[in-house]
Structure 1
Amino acid sequence: MNQTEILAYYSRPEVIKGLLDIARDREVVGAYRDGRYSKRPDVLQYPSDIAAKVRTGIVSWHCSVEHWHSPMALSTSLSRAELDAARKGFDIIFDIDSKSEFNYARTAAIVVCNFLADMGVKPTIKFSGRRGFHVAIASKALPASIDYKPSAARYPEIPQAIAGFLKVKIEDELMDALIAEAGGMAALTKGASISEITPWNFLDIESNWGARHLFRAPYSLHEKTWLVSLPLRLFKLKKFKPEDARPGATGGPFLVNKPEEATELLVSALDWSAKHKPQEKNIERSMQKGAPIPEEHFPPCIRLLRNGISDGRKRSLFTLVSFLRAANWPWEKIDIAVNEWNNKNPKGPLPNRFISTQLAWHKRQARNLLPANCDNDTFYRSIGICQPTELCARIKNPAAFTRLSCTKAAKQKINNKSIK
């Protein structure tokens, strides 16, 4: 599409209404043809805002999952406590993306929607515009507080817990559904040798949100397909095809829920999450003090990442910095390591300003953050750095690998001395 056609699309009354409805109390950021975002923070308030920004080259729109008291007051310098105070609430958006066949994402979306319905939640859904779907639960579906703490202040804990809980609960059913969709296991794997078959070999459900996380706005165009990120009625999902989302298609409701209908889901997810955190607490305790851990004790994924990567540079920057902090590296060494890594990336380095902003954000955190868990395909398997060893089978987080590796080396050293 050329810019005249894009402007004509965004001038449609139903598109303007869809964008302005979702924009209320949110950051809304435009993106250019090459995927770059315009300045943040930004908002959409009036129809004229849309046209004016499209004339500057904007082709798509992305909005925050978080609702804010004053979106334009946001900045990268805000602390965690300041962000919590500024946040009014947040939606739950399950971003389902197929790694190959579109049908697999559609199958996953059906399984996710059925699971949520069984938990008493009626989700809404939209096509992402390319190879996936966004299954959504509106902020009002969550209780105002849980365990005597406002739900709005428990971001990203709540969406991460719900996503983790959902992925575990649907895994077996989703695997069966994917095999049926493909026409058998051989057709699904296409003859490839995969040591451990899981649904996450074939698709992702994002589960690692960060502050000010964005998702593609309903009725936004997708800059790679020029299809619409179209809200769908659930009964149309089973037969939906990407070409059904050409500009001009009619959409359904999005982010519409009854008050507190996700309470049972949230309580179940938090209970599940509480039972699966012991290893992370042990890791945090072990990394509070100690000498920097040498690279020889790093897991394979981090070693591969440090050699440079083609895809996922921004999320890999988070992985690298959080891992090195967990390994007790001082900031001087982390700064050097990050810049060395950035210059090795085959598609070119990330902008220096982006790097410095991310490092500054990490330095402001009250505690060290862990990298994403090993089962988060978005951070490891999908970018080709997950090559597990025998030791990897005993951990849930890359930061735990260093502790086990150091312990193993220490025991070996003692054994060698006793032999002498």
Structure 2
Amino acid sequence: MEKMEKEPQSPKEKKIRKITQFYYSRSDVQDAIFKFSKNREIAPRYYEGFGKRPDTLQFRGDILSLAKKGATSFHASEELWKDPLKIITGMDKKEADKIRIGWDLLIDIDCEHGIKYSKLAAESVVETFMQHGIKNIGIKFSGGKGFHIILPWNSFPKNINGIETKDLFPELPRNLVLYVKNYSASILKSKLPEDFEKDLSEDLRTGFICKKCSNFSEEYRNVEFRCEKCQIFEIRKFRKGTKGKLPKCYQCKNEMEFKPMEKFIECERCGINSLKEPENFTREEKDLYSLMGLDFVLVSPRHLFRTPYSLHEKTALSSVVLDYKELKNFEMKNADPLRIKIKNFIPNSVENESAEFVMQALDWIKSAGLDKDYERRSEGKYENFKSIKLENLKESQFPPTILKILEGVSDGKKRAVFAIINFFRSIGMEKEELEKRLYEWNEKNEVPLKKGYISSQLTWSYQRKPLMPPNFSSEFYQGLGAIPNQEELKSKNPVTYTVKKNFFESRKS
């Protein structure tokens, strides 16, 4: 039997293989990859395929040894493990929770429209974190046409509502990415060049934003298919622009006649459509979310991403770490493996630095109805909530908890903004009055928030339907130093408390 000949190497493979051993022999590159690999599952890639899993790096010298055996890059888990070698393929969540010790929030930006828009998306995500009080953020070039942004495990609260945060993987980080995607879209919009629509006219979808969950939604049409001979008919839903063959009658096998029916917009995430709730959708606009290229697949059990300073097979560039100030002017040549300088990808974060960001994200997730447990708890009177206009409204009708917050807070100012805006909008306060009160409240704080932050929160809120503020029973208010009394707890929510007070006082007068 003749020995099979190896397929010739492609130009890309030849290019990367020329430099792998030289590059991975650098002690500073080895140090960077090895330091990052601690408590992580690591898999070498041999240009086309990956090595065995699970695996990890036990010594710094393993990196060069693997490169000599043909490894072209190294990939790591965002999950942190007691011992990565104890991972069992196919293990269930309970088994994984026992040996997982934490996780990093890793946001993968891979805009299909090129590095220009990936940079703008990355800037928007970093600024989102900054606006939530987070200063220590890791940024690196992916090696292709995108970026990886990381918030390290140390910055997260270790317990949320009595559950260990390490066990909330992948649900919590997925929700955090969803919140970041939603929040940073308005920041991205302000950064886009004036001609971006012309530049991307053939690539950008048009559609509508769901005000409840901020998902990009598309137009559909119901179509009735009918067989007159057999008197059989059915109605099917089609996305706008869908083409296909006419269905055949299952009895006589003839093609069915069709009759276009109503058009409507539908949100795939929360299931709302414009036939029932037309006011839930914005006017038609471009899909900016697709520009961000956020990869949700990365937030999944045992998913791997390229380690810092690992090479990229398609470009032979290094996954180089950047400072935020370098991001705007970054060019592909800055990732030339012969020119790179080593920096830490994992920043020296402050413990619990991301706690407020997590709280705001979870409040938004719950208020938008994206948390299934919360949805079940909030069924009934709060479902499909709409703001109400209260007559003869007085500040004395506000709950003591809200009045306490309005005196100014020392901690949790950004969470307080969330509560104040939603409370005032829910009781029908006019926009000008709301803005005036919010800025006045900010001046009462020991260290006021930046006006730009408050302005962005107001803009973000008024692009969506009003949301009920958190219930008194949540831990939200205690974190702001405002503890609800028994009367408030009986009313459940600040809005219902105010409505009752207003109603009874109006009856007396």
TM-score, normalising length: structure 1: 0.63
- Report the Cα offset of residue 77 of structure 1: 3.1
- Report the Cα offset of residue 193 of structure 1: 7.0
| Matches of 2:143 and 2:63, distance apart in 1 | 19
Match of residue 157 from structure 1: 171
Match of residue 147 from structure 2: 133
Aligned pair partner of 1:267 in 337, 342, 359? 359
| Matches of 2:176 and 2:290, distance apart in 1 | 21
Determine if contact 1:91/1:136 at 8 Å carries over to the other structure: yes
Match of residue 199 from structure 2: 187
Determine if contact 2:16/2:316 at 8 Å carries over to the other structure: no
In structure 2, the CA distance between the partners of 1:234 and 1:279, relative to structure 1 (3 Å rule), is closer
Identity of paired residues, percent?
30
Instruction: Could you tell me which runs of 5 or more consecutive residues in structure 2 were left unpaired when the two chains were aligned.
Output: 1-14, 208-284, 377-509
**2:35 aligned with 1:21, yes or no?**
yes
Any residues of structure 2 matched to 1:163-202 within 5 Å, and which? 163-180=177-194, 183-189=195-201, 194-195=206-207, 196-202=285-291
| Matches of 2:108 and 2:371, distance apart in 1 | 27
Supply the AA of the counterpart residue of 2:27.
P
Determine if contact 2:365/2:371 at 8 Å carries over to the other structure: no
Aligned pair partner of 2:309 in 219, 222, 242? 219
Determine if contact 2:309/2:320 at 8 Å carries over to the other structure: yes
| Matches of 2:129 and 2:82, distance apart in 1 | 29
Supply the AA of the counterpart residue of 2:344.
P
- Report the Cα offset of residue 247 of structure 1: 0.5
**2:114 aligned with 1:91, yes or no?**
no
Match of residue 52 from structure 2: 39
Match of residue 316 from structure 1: none
| Matches of 1:53 and 1:83, distance apart in 2 | 27
| Matches of 2:103 and 2:303, distance apart in 1 | 10
In structure 2, the CA distance between the partners of 1:194 and 1:247, relative to structure 1 (3 Å rule), is same
In structure 2, the CA distance between the partners of 1:145 and 1:193, relative to structure 1 (3 Å rule), is closer
Determine if contact 1:126/1:135 at 8 Å carries over to the other structure: yes
- Report the Cα offset of residue 3 of structure 1: 3.4
Determine if contact 1:178/1:199 at 8 Å carries over to the other structure: no
Supply the AA of the counterpart residue of 1:274.
K
- Report the Cα offset of residue 165 of structure 1: 0.7
Q: Secondary structure of the residue that 1:47 maps to in structure 2?
A: coil
Determine if contact 2:205/2:286 at 8 Å carries over to the other structure: no
From the CA coordinates, give the structure whose radius of gyration is larger. 2
| Matches of 2:310 and 2:345, distance apart in 1 | 13
Supply the AA of the counterpart residue of 1:78.
M
| Matches of 2:374 and 2:35, distance apart in 1 | 44
- Alpha-carbon RMSD: 2.2
Q: Secondary structure of the residue that 2:101 maps to in structure 1?
A: strand
Instruction: Could you tell me which runs of 5 or more consecutive residues in structure 1 were left unpaired when the two chains were aligned.
Output: 285-420
Counting matched residue pairs gives 281
C-alpha distance after superposition, 1:46-65 (max 9, x if no partner): 12211221122110111000
**2:325 aligned with 1:258, yes or no?**
no
Q: Secondary structure of the residue that 2:200 maps to in structure 1?
A: helix
Supply the AA of the counterpart residue of 1:214.
L
TM-score, normalising length: structure 2: 0.52
Match of residue 393 from structure 1: none
In structure 2, the CA distance between the partners of 1:238 and 1:279, relative to structure 1 (3 Å rule), is closer
Match of residue 142 from structure 1: 156
In structure 2, the CA distance between the partners of 1:92 and 1:2, relative to structure 1 (3 Å rule), is closer
